[in-house]
Amino acid sequence: MQNFNPLKIRKLFLLGIAIALAVAFFDLLTKRLIFAILENQALELNIKNPEIVIFSFFNLVLVWNRGVSFGMFNQLESGPVILSLLQFAIMVIVFVWLYRNENIYFTWALGLIAGGALGNLVDRIKNGAVADFLDFHIASYHWPAFNLADSSVFIGVVILLLDDLIFKKK
């Protein structure tokens, strides 16, 4: 780090925390709203797997993911506990990384990653699984359902990669 600036680091850290909290809030809010709508539809129509077709390639669905990305490790009996501990450890590392950071792109990236991790962690602790509802598909091929938190983590990782490959001063 050149020209160490504690005030700048503190401002960036607080910005990263604000981004993380906003992402987690909106992730949990969207899960709650979408699932309430879909559960209501399931009750009204007496169907097991409700869905709302938004576009020919995009639906809103109800999926509980007890594993990690794309449902991996879904069958682990102690999965929610192990995954919650792992998610918490990763979040601590991300927050330490965020605290030592002096780069605005890095701040946004880590805030998005931490917020997504926090939203999914709260979901996993509260429900024993993560709520996914965004379903993109082409014909009968469906991409695994995901949520706002997953999208935020992905975007954060892309920003980290772009920061490293493009924005870094050589």
Residue numbers annotated as active site:
132, 150
Please say whether the beta carbons of 121 and 27 come within 8 A: no
Residue 75, number of CB atoms within 10 A of its CB:
9
Phi, psi of 147 (to 5 degrees): -135, -175
Residue among 109, 116, 119, 117 at smallest CA distance from 87:
117
Token pair listed for 28: 């949990």
From residue 90, give the alpha-carbon distance in Å to each of 145, 155, 169: 23, 17, 27
Please say whether the beta carbons of 147 and 133 come within 8 A: yes
